[in-house]
Structure formats: C-alpha cells, structure tokens
Amino acid sequence: MYRDGAASLENDNRAMAFVLEHDVPMQALNTFGVAARARTLMRVRSAQDLAELMREPVLAARPRLILGGGSNLLFTGDVEALVLKIDVPGMRELEPSETHWRVEVGAGENWHAVVEQLVQNDRPGLENLALIPGNCGAAPVQNIGAYGLELAERFESLQAWDFERNALVTLTLADCRFGYRDSLFKHEAPGRYAIIAITLALPRQWQAVRGYLDVDNALKARGIGAPAAGDIFDAVVAIRRRKLPDPAVVGNAGSFFKNPVVPREKQAELVRHFPSLVSYPLPGGRYKLAAGWLIEAAGLKGATRGRAGVYEKQALVLVNRGGATGGEILALAREVQAKVAEKFGVQLEPEPVIV
C-alpha cells in the first residue's frame, strides 16, 4: 500500500561514506527562485548519514542550515553554513491505535504528494492541508495549517537527529510545543534538530473539517452536502490554485506573513475604524486578523518594487517577478510591515526563515 522506507528512517549500522558538494547553486533549491550559492552541501538520506558526519570534528563544529523543500526560506546572500539537504525517503503504515491510523513518513517526501496518496488510500485527515508546498520534514517546524486545520491536530511524534546529544531522538506532540505557525524548532537552538521522519495520527472515525467559508462555498457550488475526504481535497486544491501562484511559474514561498493575533480590545477598535476588517475569534478572547486583508487595505496588493512584488490575487504572497534578489524581496517585506503598522498599529511577522 505504501512505499516502504523503513531502512531509511532508522539509525542502522550500515557503512556509508557521505558526500559533500561544494559551491552549490541554490536557485533550484528554494521556491522563491533566488540565486545564491552554498559553500558546502550534504544530502541526507538517513540518520546514519548524520552520525557519520558528526564523527568528523571539523564538519561537526561548523554552523548548519537545515534545508527541506526550500519553500519556507528567503536567501539574502550566499550560504557559508554547512547546508544539510534533508532527502530522507519512505512512507509506511504502522500498527494503528484504537482511534487512529498511524503513518510514518520520511522528512524528504513531498507534503502534497503524501496528502494525496493518503486520501486515495482511505486514510483521510490531511485533506485541508493539500497543496501546501514543501517537504514533510518542514511541516512540524512551521506547524503548517490551512482551512481550519493544523498539523498539530494530526501529529503523533517525530524522529530527529539532536546535534547537542549527537543521537537520534523521538519527540512527542507535547515535546514539539506547537503554536500558531510555531514550534520548538523555531526557538530552542535553531539548527539543533534535523527532522528525519514524522508519524501522523489520522482519525479512524473521520469527520469533515469544513468550517472555512471558502471550502464550504466550494462544496455548495458543486452541490455536495455531505463531502467525502476526496471532495474536500479537490475543493482545497482548486481554491489554492485559483488564489496562489505556482512556485514553478512564479517564485514565491506561499504566505509570507503570519495572520497577526490581537486582543479583543484591539480587534474592536479596528472594526470601529475599518468595519470590513476580516478577523476570526480564537479561544481566550483573542482574534486572528487576516494579514492579506491588512496588506490590501494598505494599498499594496499588486505592488511592484523592482523585480519583487505583492501578488495580484493574494496580497499575503510576495513574489519574484523574475531575477529578484533576496534583498529586494526583503526590502519589499519591510515596506509592507511598515505600512501596515502605520495604518493599523499591527506588526506583521514573516513566516519564512531569512537566511
């Protein structure tokens, strides 16, 4: 049923000589398509590769950059750190629990391809997260989410190489300290962990997550009242393709800014001045504001600055219009932040890692 990558996911005892690549062009390894070069790059296909690497004192002491699908970073120059390109393959079903199907996936697998295969193989639960760019190992770092669902709700554990302990470790849901587009991996010693595999927990008693208006409208337009997981998958794919640029055609990293979260009092103040403000209530009396609405209301939707721009169909997305440098894109991001802060008194926080 699944591609068995078990051997790739374990810290086995096989001998392996890792290979280092030097002066590596990175343009094809980031979805912004920004030109940059890595001084040294190593492609990681197992935990054993990292065990071998750490036996070399000079390499072990170098600063590291963990790279997955390159969909959540922005290069602003060449990379002096040792780039560890995580290409761990494999997907296999584990022993289920009473309530969940359990699936282990290599960190190098493409996220959307995994979601699609699981839905097709009657293992639903991730369909709302379809077409999110990037690889599976990056999903916990960002705690990816879309259309009413976050990874944390379908996550059991992960395997990661801990460079401080120099060992393969297992981190549970609680260990990962997930928050809104946030996790342990963004705060505790960035670069400490290289995620090798993730274990997903998919509900055996599946229920559709359709609270997001766009998804509900898409289902109603198709006359679907009781959707199957495949119906939601198709709706989400159609919505994302309509709203978001394909990185293979227009360089981008998806949503560039997080939706800011504000207290109830701030949301009420903004609504008084801007009645059409789009916001969503959260537990504890807070509100999540639609960053795309804020950027558009600040007059920046479709803006172009040199070779960088704000996407015409979705103001939350910054794009490389062709040959933009990371510096140009970063300058545009800072302009967006400044204008939104000036107009609304709200600070936007970038989602991608700035390198």
Active site residues: 181, 255, 351
DSSP assignment of 25-90 equals E-GGGSTT----EEEEEEEE-SHHHHHHHTTSHHHHTS-EEEESSS-SEE--S-EEEEEEEE----
CB count, 10 Å around CB of 257?
24
Measured on CA atoms in the order 47, 133, 179, 128, is the torsion positive or negative?
negative
Between CA 316 and CA 294 the distance in angstroms is 9
Between CA 112 and CA 247 the distance in angstroms is 14
- The DSSP output letter for 22 is E
Query: C-alpha distances in angstroms, 8 versus 84, 211, 229, 342?
Result: 16, 38, 30, 50
Beta strands 64-67 and 79-86, pairing class: parallel
